[in-house]
Structure 1
Amino acid sequence: MERVDSGDLHAATAGIWSGYAYSKPEQLGLPFEDVEIQVDGGMAPAWKFTPTAAGPVSSTWAIHAHGMGGKRAGALRGVPVARRLGITSLVVSFRNDGEAPPSNDFRYSLGQGEWLDVEAAINYAVDHGAERLLLFGWSLGGSMALRAANLSAHSDRIIGLVLVAPVLDWAETLTSNGSASGLPKAIARAGLSLLGSNAGRWVTGLKQSIDLSALDWVTRAGDLTTPTLILHGIDDKSTPVAVSERFAELRPDLVQLVRFDVPGHSLEWNGDTEKWESSVTRFLKSLPAD
Structure 2
Amino acid sequence: MAKKTALRSLIGLATAATAGSAVVFLGAAYFARQVVVPKTTRSEDLPIRRVFGGAEGSLQIELPASPQTRAPGRYSLWFANGSGHACLGRVTKTDTEAGTVTRVVERVDSGDLPSARAGIWSGYVFSKPDQLDLPYSVVQIPTEHGTAPAWKFMPATASLVSNVWAIHIHGMGGTRAGALRGVPVANRLGHTSLVVSFRNDREATESTDARYMLGQTEWIDVEAAIGFAISEGAQKILLFGWSLGGSIALQLANLSAYSRYVSGLILDAPVMDWSRTLTSNAQASGLPGPVAALGLRLMQSRTFRWVTGLEEPLNFQSLDWVERASELKKPVLLLHGKGDLSTPFEVSELVANLRPDLIQLVPFDVEGHSQEWNVDIEKWEGAVADWIVSLNGEVKEDDEAGELADASAE
Place the TM-score, normalised by the shorter chain, in its bin: over 0.9
Larger helix proportion of the pair? 2
Q: How far is the alpha carbon of 1:251 from its aligned partner?
A: 0.3
Q: Is the 8 A contact 1:229 1:256 kept in 2?
A: yes
1:205 corresponds to which of 309, 316, 329: 309
Structure-2 separation of matches of 1:21 and 1:206: 33
Structure-2 separation of matches of 1:196 and 1:264: 29
Moved more, 50-59 or 168-177: 50-59
For residues 65-86 of structure 1, the C-alpha deviation after alignment (integer angstroms, 9 at most, x for no partner) is 0000001000000000001110
Question: What is the aligned partner in structure 2 of residue 15 from structure 1?
Answer: 119
Q: How far is the alpha carbon of 1:11 from its aligned partner?
A: 4.3
Structure-1 separation of matches of 2:313 and 2:117: 39
Count of residue correspondences: 290
TM-score (norm 1): 0.98
Structure-1 separation of matches of 2:274 and 2:148: 26
For residues 34-63 of structure 1, the C-alpha deviation after alignment (integer angstroms, 9 at most, x for no partner) is 111001221111000011344411101010
2:231 corresponds to which of 116, 122, 127: 127
Q: Is the 8 A contact 2:366 2:375 kept in 1?
A: yes
Question: What is the aligned partner in structure 2 of residue 284 from structure 1?
Answer: 388
Structure-2 separation of matches of 1:185 and 1:5: 43
1:270 corresponds to which of 374, 377, 397: 374
SS in 2 for 1:287: helix
User: Which residues of 2 match residues 39-78 of structure 1 at below 5 A?
Assistant: 39-78=143-182
Structure-1 separation of matches of 2:367 and 2:178: 17
Structure-2 separation of matches of 1:218 and 1:279: 24
For residues 184-235 of structure 1, the C-alpha deviation after alignment (integer angstroms, 9 at most, x for no partner) is 1111111100011101211001010000000001100011000000000000
Q: Does 1:246 align with 2:372?
A: no
SS in 1 for 2:113: coil
Structure-2 separation of matches of 1:133 and 1:226: 11
Q: Is the 8 A contact 1:40 1:101 kept in 2?
A: no
TM-score (norm 2): 0.69
Q: Is the 8 A contact 2:157 2:190 kept in 1?
A: no
Kindly, what percent of the aligned residue pairs are identical?
62
1:29 corresponds to which of 129, 133, 152: 133
Question: What is the aligned partner in structure 2 of residue 143 from structure 1?
Answer: 247
Q: Does 1:116 align with 2:217?
A: no
Q: Which has the higher contact order (CA 8 A, sep 6+)?
A: 1
Q: Is the 8 A contact 2:199 2:218 kept in 1?
A: yes
SS in 1 for 2:365: strand
Q: Is the 8 A contact 2:169 2:176 kept in 1?
A: yes
For residues 93-137 of structure 1, the C-alpha deviation after alignment (integer angstroms, 9 at most, x for no partner) is 111110000111111010111111110111110111000000000
Question: What is the aligned partner in structure 1 of residue 185 from structure 2?
Answer: 81
For residues 3-61 of structure 1, the C-alpha deviation after alignment (integer angstroms, 9 at most, x for no partner) is 22233324434321100010000100111011110012211110000113444111010
SS in 2 for 1:5: strand
Structure-2 separation of matches of 1:51 and 1:288: 17
Q: Between Structure 1 and Structure 2, whose CA radius of gyration is higher?
A: 2
Q: How far is the alpha carbon of 1:179 from its aligned partner?
A: 1.1
Structure-2 separation of matches of 1:256 and 1:53: 30
For residues 165-191 of structure 1, the C-alpha deviation after alignment (integer angstroms, 9 at most, x for no partner) is 000000011011111111111111111
SS in 1 for 2:353: helix
Q: How far is the alpha carbon of 1:263 from its aligned partner?
A: 1.2
Displacement over 6 Å in runs of 4+: none
1:99 corresponds to which of 179, 200, 203: 203
Structure-1 separation of matches of 2:285 and 2:311: 27
Cα-Cα RMSD: 1.1
Question: What is the aligned partner in structure 1 of residue 284 from structure 2?
Answer: 180
Q: How far is the alpha carbon of 1:257 from its aligned partner?
A: 0.3
SS in 1 for 2:303: coil
Q: Does 1:259 align with 2:363?
A: yes
Give the partner amino acid of 2:123: G
Structure-1 separation of matches of 2:371 and 2:157: 32
- Name the CA shift for 1:245/1:117 in 2 (closer, same or farther; >3 Å): same
Q: Is the 8 A contact 2:134 2:156 kept in 1?
A: no
SS in 2 for 1:15: strand
Structure-2 separation of matches of 1:117 and 1:28: 25
Question: What is the aligned partner in structure 2 of residue 155 from structure 1?
Answer: 259
SS in 2 for 1:231: strand
Q: Is the 8 A contact 1:234 1:261 kept in 2?
A: yes
Question: What is the aligned partner in structure 2 of residue 169 from structure 1?
Answer: 273
Q: Is the 8 A contact 1:234 1:263 kept in 2?
A: yes
Structure-2 separation of matches of 1:272 and 1:17: 17
